[in-house]
Structure 1
Amino acid sequence: MRARRVVLALLALTLVAGTALAAGPRAGLLLAIGLGFGLILEGLRFGFAGPWRLMITERDARGLVAQLLAIALAAAALFPLMAANPLELSPAHAPIGTAMILGAFVFGAAMQVVMGCGSGTLVNAGSGNLIGLVALAGFVAGAFLGTLHTGFWVSLGRLPVISAQSLAGDDGSLALTLAGLATVGALALWRAAPGKRRPPARLLWAAGGLAGLAALNMIVSGQSWGIVYGLGLWGAKLAQAAGADLSANAFWALPANARRLEASLLTDVTSLTDLGLILGAFLVMKGRAAPGAPSMPLAWRGWVGVVIAGLVLGYSSRIALGCNVGAFFSGISTGSLHGWAWFAAAFAGSALGLRLRPFVLIAPRRAEAPA
C-alpha cells in the first residue's frame, strides 16, 4: 500500500515537472494547484451537488455549511489581495441577466441528474466513474456549443456588473460578503434536522484547503478558480481538429480566445487546473486500499440520458457564466453579486433535478443484468 502511494506521488511529481519544463514554471504550479483541488475534493469527499441534494431531501446542512465556510475563508484571503493588486488580479465578476439566471436554474437541475457539477464531473471522471466519464464528454461538447450562441443569450438583456466592492467599497465589501454567507448559513442551520448541522472534521479541513488553493490560484494565474472555460476550449480544439472554422464566430474571434485556441492547452490557466483536478482524483482512487463503489449500471435509455444531461450541463454553465466553482464559489468569494443570483437559481433548479433523476438514470431490468 505504501509502495503504491510512493509510486503515485512520483508520478504526480513527474507530470508537474514535465509540465514545468514544457510550458514554464507557472504552468507546472497551476497543474499542481489543480492536482491539489482534486486531492481535496475526492480524498476528503467534498462536493457541491451532493450536499445540495442532502439539504433538500434530508435537511442535512453539514455539506452546505462547509461550502459556505470555504467561500468565507477564500473571501477573507482574496479581498485584501484584490484590493492591493487591482490591475494584476481579475475577480470573477459578471453581470446578472436573463440567460444567466435561466442557465443557472437548468444547470442546477442537470447536475442532480448526473450527481456532479463542473468540478464534480471532473472528479467523477478522474476517479474512474463511467457515468462521470460519459457526462464529461457531454459537458465538453455542451460548453463548446454554448460559446457558439453567446450573442443570442447576451441579447436577452442583462444588468451592469454589480459587486460588493461597488456597493460597499474596499473597506466594507468583505464584511458585506461575510454577512451574506453568515445569513445563508444561519438559515441552513435553522432548517437542518437535529444532528445534521455541524460539518465533520474532514469537511472543515477541506474548506480550509480549498480556500488556500483558491488564493494560491489567484496569485499564480492572476484570475479566479474556474472550470467551464477550459472544457469549452477543449471542445473548440476538437472541433477545429475535425475541420471546423471558428474564425467567424463572435466568441472565438475575440483576440484573447483566438490566441488560446491556437496555443497549447498547457498555456491555458483553466485547462491546467482542470487537468490537475482530474489527475488528483485519479491518484486518490488508485491510492485507496480498496476500490470505490462501481458505477450504477444503466439501461440504454439511461446512458442516453447521461449524455444529454452532460450536454445540458456544459451548455447551461456557459450561458450561466460559470458553474458551482466559477460562479458560486469564485463569484461570491471575489464579491460578485451574480454569484448570489446564480446560487439561488441553481439551488431551485436542483429541487427540480432531483425529481427528474429517477426518470433519467434508468437501471437495467434484472434479466438484462450480467449473471
Structure 2
Amino acid sequence: MSVQTKTQPLGGNQPAIGRPPMPSVRPLVLGAALIVAVLLGSVILGSQGVKQGILFGIGLLLGYTLYHARFGFTSAFRRLVSVGQGAGVRAHMLMLSVASLLFAPILSSGVGFFGAQPEASVAPVGASVLVGAFIFGIGMQMGGGCASGVLYQVGGGGSSVLITLIAFIAGSVIGAWHWDFWVNQLPSLPPISLAETTGLGYGPALLIQLALFGAIAGATVLIARRKKAPPMKPLPTTYGLLRVIRGSWPLWVGALLLAGLNALTLAIKGSPWGITSAFALWGSKVLSTLGVNVSQWAYWSGDRAADLKASVLADTTSVMNFGIILGAMVAAAAAGTYAFRKVPGKVAMSSIIGGLLMGYGARLAYGCNIGAYFGGIASFSLHGWVWAVMALTGTFIGLRMRSIFGLKNPKSRDSFC
C-alpha cells in the first residue's frame, strides 16, 4: 500500500483548515498606488533631498507592515479590557522591548545618519498628558482606530476611518489652538527620562523596562486564563514566499519590523516616529489659507513657526504619513481587500467624535499611540508610561460609548481577528 504525501505549493490561495481563502488582487488600485508612490517619491527626492526620500520609503514600509500584520493599538486595548484577550498587548511588549534595545545605543551615542543627532522623545508629565491621553483612549475606541490605525485603514479603503481622519485633523487644530492653556498654564512635572534624569544610564534603565514588559506580558496571560479569553481567528493568507505580498503576517513579525523601522527613523530623522503633529500642520495651513492668523497661537511659536511657511513635503512627519497611506494601499490591493463601503449614520457620528477626541488629546499629550506611547516608552520617557495607563483607562469609557452608536465590542463567546 502506497502512502501519498500532500505538500503545500510555494504560493497560491489554497486555504489551510479553518483559514478563509484570499480574495482576488485589485490590479487597478495596486497600479494606481504604485504609480502615485513612485511619482511622489520622485518629487520628494528632487525637491527635498535623499534624507526625506528615505523617510518617505520608511513610511511606505510602515504602512505595508501595519496592514499585513493588522497591527492594532486600539483593538489590542479593546480586546484586553473587554474579554481579556492579551495577544495584541503582548505584541506591543515585544515591539517595545526590541525598540528599547535598539534605541538605547542610538540615544546614548547621539550619532545618527545624514548628520542627525538622535534625541529621545521625552516630554513633561502634567495635566495635559493625563487629560489628553485619557480622551485619546476614549476617542480611538469610538473612531475605529488610533493614529497609525486610521492611516493604514484609510490606505486600505476604510470608509468610516476616512471620516475619522478628517475629524482627527480638526481636533488636532483645536488642540493646537488651546495648547498654551493646557501646557503652559497648568501644573506639570519637567520631562523625566528613566535613563538620564534619574542618573541610572541607559543600561540599567533598559533592564528595568525589559522587566516591566515581561511583567505586563505575564499579567495578560493570567488575565486571559481568568476571563477564559476567546481565541484569535485566523486571517486569510497564502503560503511560502507569496505571503510577503498576499498574506496576513503574525503579530510578532509586525512587532519586530515596526521596532526596527522606528529605530531606523530615529537614526535618520533624529527623533522617533510620529504621526499627529502633521495633522495639526495640515489643518493649520488650511485655516491660514482661509485667513485665520494661526501664527499667533503659542503652539506655532519658536521652532514650529517655520513649518507653517514651508512646503508640506519639507515636514518629515507629513512625508512619512503619506508613505504609510500609500504603503497600506499597496498591501490592501495586493491582498484583494481594498474596498469602500457605505457608512451608517451612527457610525459616521461616532467616527467624527472619536477623531475630534483623538486629535485634541494627542496635542495635549505630546503625541498619540505612536509618538507618546511607542516612541515615548522606547525613549525611556516617563510620559510614555503615563500615556499608556491613561489611554487604557479611557478605553473603559470608550467601550461603553461604542454601544450607543451601534458599534460592537468583543464577547467572551466570540473568536476574532
Aligned pair in 2 of structure 1 residues 2, 227: CA closer, same or farther (>3 Å)?
closer
In structure 2, C-alpha distance between the alignment counterparts of 1:229 and 1:97, rounded to whole Å: 19
Give secondary structure in 2 for the equivalent of 1:94. coil
User: 1:360 is matched with which residue: 382, 385, 405?
Assistant: 405
In structure 1, C-alpha distance between the alignment counterparts of 2:174 and 2:36, rounded to whole Å: 34
The answer to whether the Cα contact below 8 Å between 1:94 and 1:161 also exists between their aligned partners in 2 is yes
The equivalent residue for 1:367 is none
1:259 lines up with 2:267 in the alignment: no
The answer to whether the Cα contact below 8 Å between 1:52 and 1:347 also exists between their aligned partners in 2 is yes
The equivalent residue for 2:18 is none
The equivalent residue for 2:145 is 116
In structure 2, C-alpha distance between the alignment counterparts of 1:211 and 1:357, rounded to whole Å: 31
Aligned residues: 360
The equivalent residue for 1:366 is none
Aligned pair in 2 of structure 1 residues 23, 70: CA closer, same or farther (>3 Å)?
same
Aligned pair in 2 of structure 1 residues 199, 361: CA closer, same or farther (>3 Å)?
closer
Aligned pair in 2 of structure 1 residues 60, 50: CA closer, same or farther (>3 Å)?
same
Give secondary structure in 2 for the equivalent of 1:46. coil
Percent identity over the alignment is 33
Aligned pair in 2 of structure 1 residues 198, 65: CA closer, same or farther (>3 Å)?
farther
Give secondary structure in 2 for the equivalent of 1:284. helix
1:208-267 per-residue CA deviation (whole Å, 9 max, x = no partner) reads 11011001111111111111111111111111111111232111122x211111101111
The equivalent residue for 2:273 is 225
1:23-63 per-residue CA deviation (whole Å, 9 max, x = no partner) reads 11111111111111110111221110011111111211111
1:102-150 per-residue CA deviation (whole Å, 9 max, x = no partner) reads 1111110111012211111111222121111111001011111111111
Q: Which runs of 5+ in 2 are unaligned?
A: 1-24, 235-248, 409-417
The equivalent residue for 2:382 is 337
TM superposition score normalised by structure 2 = 0.81
Question: Which amino acid in structure 2 is aligned with residue 224 of structure 1?
Answer: P
The equivalent residue for 1:245 is 293
In structure 1, C-alpha distance between the alignment counterparts of 2:39 and 2:294, rounded to whole Å: 35
Give secondary structure in 2 for the equivalent of 1:213. helix
1:83 lines up with 2:108 in the alignment: yes
Q: Which runs of 5+ in 1 are unaligned?
A: 364-371
User: 1:350 is matched with which residue: 375, 380, 395?
Assistant: 395
1:282-306 per-residue CA deviation (whole Å, 9 max, x = no partner) reads 11122223545x547312x542332
The equivalent residue for 2:51 is 26
Give secondary structure in 2 for the equivalent of 1:164. coil
Give secondary structure in 2 for the equivalent of 1:69. helix
The answer to whether the Cα contact below 8 Å between 2:142 and 2:398 also exists between their aligned partners in 1 is yes
In structure 2, C-alpha distance between the alignment counterparts of 1:265 and 1:9, rounded to whole Å: 21
Question: Which amino acid in structure 2 is aligned with residue 268 of structure 1?
Answer: D
The equivalent residue for 1:164 is 194
| Cα-Cα RMSD | 2.3
The equivalent residue for 2:369 is 324
The answer to whether the Cα contact below 8 Å between 1:121 and 1:136 also exists between their aligned partners in 2 is yes
1:297 lines up with 2:297 in the alignment: no
Give secondary structure in 2 for the equivalent of 1:93. coil
Q: Higher helix proportion, which one?
A: 1
- Deviation at residue 348 of structure 1 after TM alignment: 0.9
Question: Which amino acid in structure 2 is aligned with residue 144 of structure 1?
Answer: V
1:329-352 per-residue CA deviation (whole Å, 9 max, x = no partner) reads 110011001111110010011011
The equivalent residue for 1:306 is 351
Aligned pair in 2 of structure 1 residues 177, 311: CA closer, same or farther (>3 Å)?
same
The equivalent residue for 2:15 is none
TM superposition score normalised by structure 1 = 0.91
Question: Which amino acid in structure 1 is aligned with residue 133 of structure 2?
Answer: A
